[in-house]
Amino acid sequence: MSDIERDLEEELHRVLDPISAMPIPPRRRAGSRTAARTVLGGAGAALTIKLLTGVAVAAAAVTVAGAATTGSINPAVWGQQVSQHVADCKAKLADGQHGIGDCVSDFANQHGQAVASDARHHGAGTGTTNGHGNNPNANDHAKNKNRGRSTQGKGASSQQDPTDPPIHATVTASPQP
Amino acid sequence: MASIEEPPIEAKPPPESYEPGSEADFERLYRNSYRRILGTLITLVRDRATAEDCAQETYERAFRHWKEWRPEASAEAWLHRIAINVAISDRRHQSLRQAGELVRRLGRPAPGPDPSAVAERSDLFRAIRKLPAKQAAALVLRHYHGYSNREIAAALGVPEQTVASRLAAARQHLQAVLGRR
């Protein structure tokens, strides 16, 4: 017998013999801890981790969407504000001037920046995206303001309802001469 | 040398007769073999709590197939085979089990002094636990329980030569790790 074998046997007995002298616990019956094992062990643990991760991701998504949708943008309020502001802009043009695009765009641009800032403040990390996705009017206004100025499309936009995205998109894609 | 040849304390007992499917006999088998199965498992898994868990799992699995056991085979060798499979499975799921163990321990009071803590401080034990489970099992069955290579081969369901190879590889690894001859 080699040294390693002798050491091995001595060490095994030194460690395991005291354990062998300990009392024998009652035998566990099948199914007595099935539920705990399902949750905590083996494939059950993997499934549990996946479920918890899914719930966490879903909760985060709901939080972000909620912050962007209900916390920053209220369509009803926004519509009323736009209507009011369009009326104000028209009133300012009563002396014979034409086109309220700049006037409305300024308002929409301010609103868009406020929404984006609010979404970032709520921890979305995609505030710009939320601003674009959930408030197309505001962002389209901001874009169209710049584009309209560069392409002289102000006249066309002044004839459109600033709250109607498809019309703005059309104006942006092919500005009127 | 004579003392070395003597079977150690708790070495495999003379074979007892059991009736397959008898719950009373299975309970007797449990009482007769639990400590040795636990001793094997302690060398294969990372701590005593896990070894106890694996031991209970071993007997649960064995009981489910108790009617199918044939008295021609050694009941304890059969249990060892199941226990080693349980330990291998435990090693595979060790990282997941750690999370569950933490949750279970949160509800327990602090345990008292644990004799198996000696195993945690033993370099040799730590080295054995890092061996592949089948090598470690062969080592324990041979050098603690006193099984012959043939008996180990029968217990694990592998050729005797495979047992010899595993034992040689395990000893070589331990020598390299511990720097012993």
- Residue A7 tokens read as 């050491």
**How confident is the model over A96-105, as a mean pLDDT?**
75
Residue-wise pLDDT tens digits, B15-63: 678 999 999 999 999 999 999 999 999 989 888 888 999 999 999 999 9
Domain residue limits, chain B: 18-178
Q: Are B15 and B5 in contact (CB under 8 A)?
A: no
Residue-wise pLDDT tens digits, B57-106: 999 999 999 999 988 878 999 999 999 999 998 888 776 656 666 666 66
Measured between beta carbons, the chain B residues lying within 8 angstroms of A45 are 93, 96-97, 99-100
Minimal C-alpha gap between B95 and chain A (Å): 10
Q: Are A104 and A89 in contact (CB under 8 A)?
A: yes
Tokens 């962007």, residue?
Answer: A68
Domain residue limits, chain A: 75-109+138-177
Beta carbons within 10 angstroms of residue A124's beta carbon: 22
Q: Are A103 and A89 in contact (CB under 8 A)?
A: yes
DSSP labels for A42-68?
A: HHHHHHHHHHHHHHHHHHHHHHHHHII
Measured between beta carbons, the chain B residues lying within 8 angstroms of A12 are 43, 140, 143-144
Contacts 24+ apart (CB under 8 A), B103-107: B103/A40, B104/A36, B104/A40
> Could you tell me which residues come within 8 angstroms of residue B29 by beta carbon, excluding any fewer than 6 positions away?
B16, B18, B75, B76, B79
**How confident is the model over B116-120, as a mean pLDDT?**
58
Helix A127-134 with A136-151: angle, nearest 10 deg? 90
**Fold observed for domain B18-178:** Butyryl-CoA Dehydrogenase, subunit A; domain 3 (1.20.140)
Dihedrals phi, psi of B131, to nearest 5 degrees: -70, 155
CA A170 to chain centroid:
28
Maximum separation of any 2 CA atoms in chain B, in Å: 50
Residue B110 region, left (φ>0) first, then alpha (ψ -120 to 50), else beta? Answer: beta
Interface of B with A in 88-147 (CB under 8 A): 89, 93, 96-97, 99-100, 103-104, 115-116, 118-119, 122, 124-125, 139-140, 143-144
The fraction of chain B above a pLDDT of 70, given in percent, is 76
